[in-house]
C-alpha cells in the first residue's frame, strides 16, 4: 500500500482516483499531478515504482496544502469569521446554514432533528 501525505491510498485503483482519497485533492488536481509527474492516468497504484511514488509525494509536499494543514487552515478561517462577528461567523456560531439557504423549511442537516413545540395542545 502506498502512503502519501499520511494517507494509505488504495492499491487496486487508478492513480488519479486513488489520489482523491487525500483530503484536498479532487479530480482536477489529481490529473494535474499525473501530468506534472508524467505518470499515465490509466496505470494502477500497485504498478507504480518506488521512484514514481516518491515523485508524487514530493510534488504534493512542495506544491499543495493537504490533509492536516488544510483542515487546520479551514478551521482557523472559520474561527476568524466567528471572532470578527460578521454574518457568516454568526451563522457558524449558531450552527445554521452559512451560504444563504432558506431555513423556514429544510436545513434539517444543520439544525438537527425537529423539536416539538411545547405547550401546543389540540
pLDDT in tens, the chain (122 residues): 788 888 899 989 999 999 999 999 999 999 999 999 999 999 999 999 999 999 999 999 999 999 999 999 999 999 999 999 999 999 999 999 999 999 998 999 999 998 888 866 66
| pTM of the entire predicted model | 0.78
The three-state secondary structure class of 7 is strand
Q: How far, in Å, CA of 10 to CA of 36, rounded? A: 21
- How many helices (DSSP H) and strands (DSSP E) are in the chain? 6, 2
Amino acid at each position: 500500500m502506498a502512503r502519501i501525505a499520511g494517507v494509505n491510498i488504495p492499491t487496486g485503483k487508478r492513480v488519479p482516483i486513488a489520489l482523491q482519497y487525500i483530503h484536498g485533492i479532487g479530480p482536477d488536481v489529481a490529473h494535474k499531478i499525473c501530468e506534472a509527474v508524467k505518470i499515465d492516468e490509466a496505470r494502477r497504484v500497485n504498478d507504480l515504482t518506488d521512484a514514481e511514488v516518491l515523485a508524487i509525494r514530493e510534488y504534493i509536499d512542495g506544491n499543495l496544502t493537504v490533509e492536516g494543514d488544510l483542515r487546520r487552515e479551514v478551521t482557523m478561517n472559520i474561527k476568524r469569521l466567528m471572532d470578527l462577528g460578521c454574518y457568516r461567523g454568526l451563522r457558524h456560531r449558531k450552527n445554521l446554514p452559512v451560504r444563504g439557504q432558506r431555513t423556514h423549511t429544510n436545513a434539517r442537516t444543520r439544525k438537527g432533528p425537529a423539536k416539538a413545540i411545547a405547550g401546543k395542545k389540540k
